Amino acid sequence: MQSTTFHEHEVLHRLKHFLPAQAPLKDFIHHNTLHAFQNISFQEAIKQATEIFGYKTSLTIDEYRVLLASGKIKDEVLREIIIRRKGSKDVNFWMKKLLHEAFIKTKIPRVGMVRAYWKNTYRLDLDAMVHPTLFRILCSYLDQGIAMWNFPVWHKGFLSSIREMERSSFTSFFKTKYVKQLLLDGKCGIEFLLDKLVGDPALYEHYLFDQQFAHQGWSGMVSAIEDNPDTLLDHRKISIHDLITFELLLELDALTHQLGKSWKPLGKIIADRPVNLFAEVPTSELSEAIMMFQEAYEWTYYNAVLGGLQRQEQVTEKTGRSFQAMFCIDDRECSIRRYLEKFDPTCQTFGTPGFFGVEFFYKPEHGKFLTKLCPAPVTPKYLIKEIEGRSKQQKDLHFTKQTHSLFRGWLITQTLGFWSAIKLFINIFRPSVSPATATSFRHMDKFSKLTIENHNPNHRENDLQVGFTIEEMANRVEGLLASIGLVKDFASIIYVVGHGSSSVNNPHFAAYDCGACSGRPGSVNARVICHMANHKQVRNILALRGIEIPDITQFVGALHDTTRDEVVFFDEGSLSDENKLQHTRHEQLFSIALDHNAKERSRRFEIINSALSPEAVHDKVRLRSVSLFEPRPELNHATNALCIVGDRSLTRGLFLDRRAFLNSYDYRIDPQGKYLFSILKAAAPVCGGINLEYYFSRVDNQKLGAGTKLPHNVMGLFGVANGIDGDLRPGLPNQMIEVHDPVRLLIVVQHYPEVVLETIQRNVETYEWFINNWVNLVVMHPETKEIFVFREGELHPHEQFSNSPDIVTDLELLVETHQENLPVYLIA
Amino acid sequence: MEIYLQIFIAIPLIGFLASLLAPSAKEALLSRIAFITVGLNALMVTLFIVAWIIQGRATLNLRDFVVFRSANYEFLIDFCFDKVAAVYLMVGSILTFLVTIYSRYYLHREEGYKRFFNTVLFFYLGYTIVVLSGNLETLFIGWEILGISSFLLIAFYRDRYLPVKNAVKVFSIYRIADVGLILAMWLSHHLWGQNITFVEFNNEALVNAQLQTHAMVGILVSLMILISAAAKSAQLPFSSWLPRAMEGPTPSSAIFYGSLSVHIGVFVLLRTFHFWEHQLFIRILIGAVGLSTSLVATGIARVQSSVKSQIAYASIAQIGLIFIEVAAGFDNLALFHFAGNAFLRTYQLLVSPSVVSYLIREQFYNFIPRQHTIEDSLPKKIEYTIYMLCLKEWNLDAILHRYLWKSIKWAGNRLEFLQVRGVLIFLFTAGVTGVLAVVYKQSIPDFLNKSLPYAFGLIGLIMVFKAFTKRKNVQLTLLLIVANHFMIALAVSFNEHFSFDHILIYLSGIVVSGLLGYLAILRLKMLEPLVDLERFYGYSYEHPRIAFTFLLACLGLAGFPITPTFIGEDLIFSHIHDDQFVLAFIVALSFIVDGLALIRIYARVFMGPHVKSIHEMAYRSS
């Protein structure tokens, strides 16, 4: 790809493509960390990413060998995979290699090779001279509200603002007049500066990659803000172009200052040209070995799951349901559904993406901005406003800036200072919710009203239609019900349960909320869809379309806080008397189920004794969510591995250990795969994105993850770094991924193979996930229960698993005695 | 009653030793040791203070025991207790207690859980020694412990580049404070003719009588104390180390750099208040340092866009005010202010990760596009200038870097021509000549006798400069450091006739530690092909035992209170005459550089990203 000429625009475009794409903290959304490689196969991608950028993209061979020894990788599965890849002739040869060969250690990555010559030739640590200044100026420019005195010039864009400040100031960010003058005179085109520093156009691209990947956190943030300026509430104009220009100037400044004129551009120094960044990466035995181990690791787990799924009986439809409840497909909702069904076998639960098919912007009462409540790629045209809500803000003087000023600080230290000691004491011994806590219940006031119905299409605000018309409502309700297969046999109460989380001292709080709601709690969406489904006129339209919802049926919205295991219901006042009575009973059921759910979760928590009663454990789980000293308020999506699209009866009798995204789906009402198409279009990027972010943060927590969160320092409210001069750390911190098993997502679809095969190819972007193996796909024939594996564009019958999962009789005992990741079990 | 003071040292000491013995996999045991140690101490302290108040709050002094005594020298461990000690001990114990409980869960599953609690307990031990010390010598023991435990806490994430770099940076500032204290001890020894206790400062007549006859020495002592205090409390021109110390886990940053460690400078001032209270010049100077720091630090705090650096600079500004209060003689107010500031900053740092959700929410509901700040009313050019200066921290970091590191490096690089063999031959000749000269001192002309100490002192200094800039040979570097101590011993030998055992005390620790360090490096070189000082190697990753051994050796060589050398250093100084300020300065300077060179070796060879793994190592910039 590198040529002797340099096309600036193209190179910057490519650079942006490879930089981390994480948005500011408040908009944290999971995505495939190696998104830039998604157009090639997983195997090829991890090989290239390692060679080019030095990422560790899988477990090490030694780690796999330990898994093999402990049975987490089964010997026969590994052999099977070698046969498929290498033929049966070479099995023993490869087995020997996998078990004993000392593979060559990894090489130095390609990125960084050009710029390394500064250090090697001039003993000059350019990074150490440039980075602190650069990071500090960048952070101050982008700052969202930490500093008391903001960047004095900001509206003109990054470089222009600096130019303006340099022009009228007695001091300078630069050490030499010469470079300052270059900036002031506008003689600072990237090519011009590269000519001075590098001098050889053939090396420019490599040099810029070296430079930007030396601080990929900051560069990635700049690139993300450039692409989506709205992600900062307090807008900033910045571009990767400005960043590179300024950094090149700083480099030139440092070189001139240190070496005067006694230096030559890199192009004149480098005798042996380093390998082109994007030159072909040869396949090595190591990369093949890794893929074999990885697949064996995955299929050892998948096989047990598939064995379990096949052994489930199709339950005949029951009537006389006590209630029905919709949850998010989120893996964290998988156990609460199991407990509801356990304690009330007549209830029925569903899973669907937690925005419940209604996409809109939300504006809370007194809010100055809009919040998007739907999957990240969607741009809604509607606005839902909260009215008559109470203020959601509590003040805490400890966070105010007065404490940092001199004289007020003098007063405050001697008064509030002593109160801090008491507060700290209380929080350590008796934690409680404080203004510092991020809680899902604050997202929307339970007693507020929402402007859901639109009576006049001209009622617009911020260029958005306020509320939905009747027709639009009906379309959404129909879409939701049909996609989960709930089109008849309605119970008298149908709960729609969104989810969110609570945590304190957690800059990554947004990553814990609902991914389908752009990292926000799903409470508003739950209320909105319920209002629509309860609407008389909407039901009339639905009846015309064949979905007849009886008059006694009422939809009730709710929010499940996955950290505290609490549920809040909305608008119960509008329930009929009879339903109210039932609802009271169901509330008790929810409360019992939540206690048990908390207990099941607690098996992972070191400080909670899981053998206590569910109520006692639940109390401790609640305390944990508001403890300042708890870096793991909950484990979020850790251990996620499965996405099952089909009827609940497939999974109802299985213990999946909260590892599965469960999307309810009825193939019988969707013979053309119309709903399946939209389910997969969302599930592949959302669940796949979550899964891969966990995968890569787990296998290389230092370069692709954020490292341990304990020393993190909040930068400008948009990112975290270590210390005060560090690079931003995108990705997930160690505390979120340490228990995660790095396996790719297995999507299981219950439908006819030919329908699925046709459906996934309808959209190129969705198909990329499957054909390039970023997620694994199997199809389960709904009648024969035969399993087909998607491989190289075709569905192959899969016959490997004869083994049925173990049966667990006492789930409570299992939970009390095990901390590690559990295999799949059949529930007795 | 003063006899009980020893308990407050004994408990942390036992706790610290117990925590060293605990196996690193036993999180619960480790945190329980810390909990019991600090909890018990806090409880005892509280009971003691209550009893002390009831009994009338008399200042207590305990002449504990004499470590070493000769004709006109005495190394005495002495403890003292008054309201300053009471407040510092109480605040320190409460905060350390709360933070140990906090960290018990916060650090769960963190690699280095044991290391963290070891270091915290070690720090707490040093803190109590400082706070309860009754003379400069005792204080210095605690002071050294604080320094090294700070270094270890900042470099807690030792496999990343920045923590190690910043730890070395902070350590170098601490080293300046150390030497300020050493010189103060030396001068005061000559001022009083003996090692004096703090309690004796209370005797106004005695202090005044001495100061009137030795006004200049008195001023110098106070100046040295001020330098130490300013360095330790991050006052100008040393301020930039504090934000850079925020590299460890948040609780350790909160308690040490947010509160306890950074207020130790104030403590030293309060402790020595009666010594300098009648030196108007010093009082004005302390006030001026405090005032200028509080103004500059407030400006810098205003532009900080990261939470921890903002809190750090805000805290520095308040400490500046405390300096003014101390200088003005408002000691009660200063103590009150210290306690409030310590609690506030600890809490703010502990909740600092919450700032995102809190401030984002506030912004969401109360956003006003751009708030008018006071600075906006300034003329544009002034506004931009001040803003840029504050953003650059008034170049404080760069200035320290230039004058401290660069000048030593410059001097070392001038000595580039000295090669290994040259150095060895030179050392040997100098050594033999020196010893001969000492033996035949009587027959050497007087003027030569007078200048020889300087000559050997300088040779020693050159050795450490060289050691500091060496890039290749680690063993040779160690050798140079050891040689420096021999040269110093030689230099002092010319001064007066004293028994050989003083030299023996001084050099015994050096020789043993030097040998230990040499063997450690030798062992490492047998295992690893590449060992030099060109870059960070991070060998503690694979060879933690060798790393620990070498750290002990470094501590021994740097005169840490684990070998007799610690007393020896003080002894050596007692043999430098009070008119030989230049010699004292040379020796002090070589102690500074010597410590820096050692910590540099340790950091380069054993810390930083591990050289052999490219993967699972953080980026240099992170």
Say which residue the tokens 């934690």 belong to: A431
Residue A410 has pLDDT above 70, yes or no: yes
Q: What is the pLDDT of residue B436?
A: 77
Report phi then psi at A514, rounded to 5.
-75, 120
- How many alpha carbons lie under 13 Å from residue A529 in its C-beta half-sphere? 30
Sheet holding A825-827, edge to edge: A654-655, A825-827, A807-808
Secondary structure class of A281 (helix, strand, coil): coil
Q: What is the pLDDT of residue A2?
A: 42
Q: What is the pLDDT of residue B497?
A: 64
| Distance in angstroms (rounded) separating the CA atoms of residues A701 and A729 | 10
Secondary structure class of B531 (helix, strand, coil): coil
Convert the pLDDT of each residue in A57-87 to its tens digit.
999 999 999 999 999 999 999 999 999 998 8
Q: Which ipTM value was assigned to this complex? A: 0.93
Mean pLDDT of A238-259: 95
Contact B365, A393 (CB under 8 A): yes
DSSP A17: H
The answer to whether B93 faces chain A, any CB pair under 8 Å, is no
Helix, strand, coil percent values for chain A (each to nearest 5): 45, 10, 40
Q: What is the pLDDT of residue B103?
A: 92
Tokens of A619: 């109390």
Convert the pLDDT of each residue in A498-557 to its tens digit.
999 998 899 998 889 998 998 899 999 999 999 999 999 999 999 999 999 999 999 999
Contact B358, B348 (CB under 8 A): no
The answer to whether A258 faces chain B, any CB pair under 8 Å, is no
DSSP A713: E
| Distance in angstroms (rounded) separating the CA atoms of residues A53 and B619 | 11
Buried b (16+ CB within 10 A) or exposed e, A742-764: bbbbbbbbbbbbebbbebbeeee
Query: Radius of gyration of chain B from Cα atoms?
Result: 25
In chain A, residues 516-575 whose CB comes closer than 8 Å to chain B: none
Q: Which residues contact A238 (CB under 8 A, 6 or more apart)?
A: A141, A142, A157, A158, A222, A225, A226
Q: Which of A168, A413, A723 sits opposite B166 (nearest CB)?
A: A723
Residue A35's identity, in one-letter code, is H
Q: What is the pLDDT of residue B389?
A: 93
Secondary structure class of A588 (helix, strand, coil): helix
Classify strands A787-791 and A794-797 as parallel, antiparallel or unpaired.
antiparallel
Mean pLDDT of A779-786: 92
The answer to whether B469 faces chain A, any CB pair under 8 Å, is no
All residues of chain A having their beta carbon less than 8 Å from the beta carbon of residue B294 are 406
Q: Residue A616, by phi and psi: left (phi above 0), alpha (psi -120 to 50) or beta?
A: alpha
In chain B, residues 101-120 whose CB comes closer than 8 Å to chain A: 101-110
Tokens of A582: 């039932």
The answer to whether B248 faces chain A, any CB pair under 8 Å, is yes
| Distance in angstroms (rounded) separating the CA atoms of residues A215 and A208 | 11
Residue A1 has pLDDT above 50, yes or no: no
Confidence of residue B440 (pLDDT cuts 50, 70, 90): confident
Mean pLDDT of B269-287: 92
Measured in whole angstroms, the distance separating CA A775 from the mean position of its chain's CA atoms is 15
Contact B262, B294 (CB under 8 A): no
Mean pLDDT of A262-291: 89
Convert the pLDDT of each residue in A719-743 to its tens digit.
999 989 899 999 999 999 999 999 9
Strands (E), B30-98: 60-70, 73-81
Mean pLDDT of A367-392: 87
| Mean of pLDDT over chain A | 91
| Distance in angstroms (rounded) separating the CA atoms of residues B325 and B332 | 9
DSSP B402: I
Cis (ω within 30 of 0) for the bond into B237?
Answer: yes
| Distance in angstroms (rounded) separating the CA atoms of residues A499 and A679 | 19
Sheet holding A642-646, edge to edge: A660-664, A642-646, A746-750, A776-780, A787-791, A794-797
Secondary structure class of B146 (helix, strand, coil): helix
**Contact between chains at B366 and A721 (C-beta distance less than 8 A):** no
| Distance in angstroms (rounded) separating the CA atoms of residues A704 and B622 | 12
Q: What is the pLDDT of residue B469?
A: 81
**Contact between chains at A715 and B305 (C-beta distance less than 8 A):** yes
Residue ranges of A for the binding site for Zn(2+)? 328, 330, 499, 514
Query: Radius of gyration of chain A from Cα atoms?
Result: 28
Convert the pLDDT of each residue in B21-71 to its tens digit.
999 888 899 999 999 999 999 999 999 999 999 998 888 888 878 887 877
Contact A710, A629 (CB under 8 A): no
Q: What is the pLDDT of residue A801?
A: 59
Mean pLDDT of B346-356: 90
Span of A426-440, A570-584, B48-62 with lowest mean pLDDT? A426-440
Q: What is the pLDDT of residue B614?
A: 58
* Domain layout of chain B by residue ranges: 2-358, 418-606
Question: What count of other Cβ atoms lies within 10 Å of the Cβ of residue B452?
Answer: 21
Span of A595-599, A678-682, A739-743, B73-77 with lowest mean pLDDT? B73-77
The answer to whether B372 faces chain A, any CB pair under 8 Å, is no
| Distance in angstroms (rounded) separating the CA atoms of residues B487 and B460 | 5
| Distance in angstroms (rounded) separating the CA atoms of residues B342 and B282 | 26
Q: Is the pTM of this model over 0.90?
A: yes
Q: What is the pLDDT of residue A13?
A: 95
Residue ranges of A for the binding site? 328, 330, 499, 514
Residue B94 has pLDDT above 90, yes or no: yes
**Contact between chains at B294 and A406 (C-beta distance less than 8 A):** yes
Residue B324 has pLDDT above 90, yes or no: yes
Q: Which of A142, A217, A417 sits opposite B341 (nearest CB)?
A: A417
Reference A130, options A729, A730, A725, A728; nearest CA is: A725
**Contact between chains at B366 and A368 (C-beta distance less than 8 A):** yes
Tokens of A25: 């903290």
| Mean of pLDDT over chain B | 87
Question: Which strand (E) or helix (H) includes residue A730?
Answer: none
Strand partners, A327: A351
Classify strands A642-646 and A654-655 as parallel, antiparallel or unpaired.
unpaired
Q: Which of B310, B373, B612 sits opposite A404 (nearest CB)?
A: B310
Question: To the nearest whole angstrom, how far is the Cα of B497 from the nearest Cα of chain A?
Answer: 49
In chain A, residues 772-811 whose CB comes closer than 8 Å to chain B: none
% residues pLDDT > 70 (chain A) = 98
Residue A217 has pLDDT above 50, yes or no: yes
**Contact between chains at B360 and A233 (C-beta distance less than 8 A):** yes
All residues of chain A having their beta carbon less than 8 Å from the beta carbon of residue B391 are 136-137, 140
Question: Which strand (E) or helix (H) includes residue B450?
Answer: helix B446-469
| Distance in angstroms (rounded) separating the CA atoms of residues B149 and B167 | 10
Secondary structure class of A724 (helix, strand, coil): coil
Residue A423 has pLDDT above 90, yes or no: no
Residue B541's identity, in one-letter code, is Y
All residues of chain B having their beta carbon less than 8 Å from the beta carbon of residue A133 are 392
Integer angstrom CA distances of residue B327 from A407, A509, B260, B476: 18, 46, 20, 47
Question: To the nearest whole angstrom, how far is the Cα of A352 from the nearest Cα of chain B?
Answer: 28
Q: What is the pLDDT of residue B499?
A: 64
Q: Which residues contact B254 (CB under 8 A, 6 or more apart)?
A: B99, B345, B346, B347, B349, B350
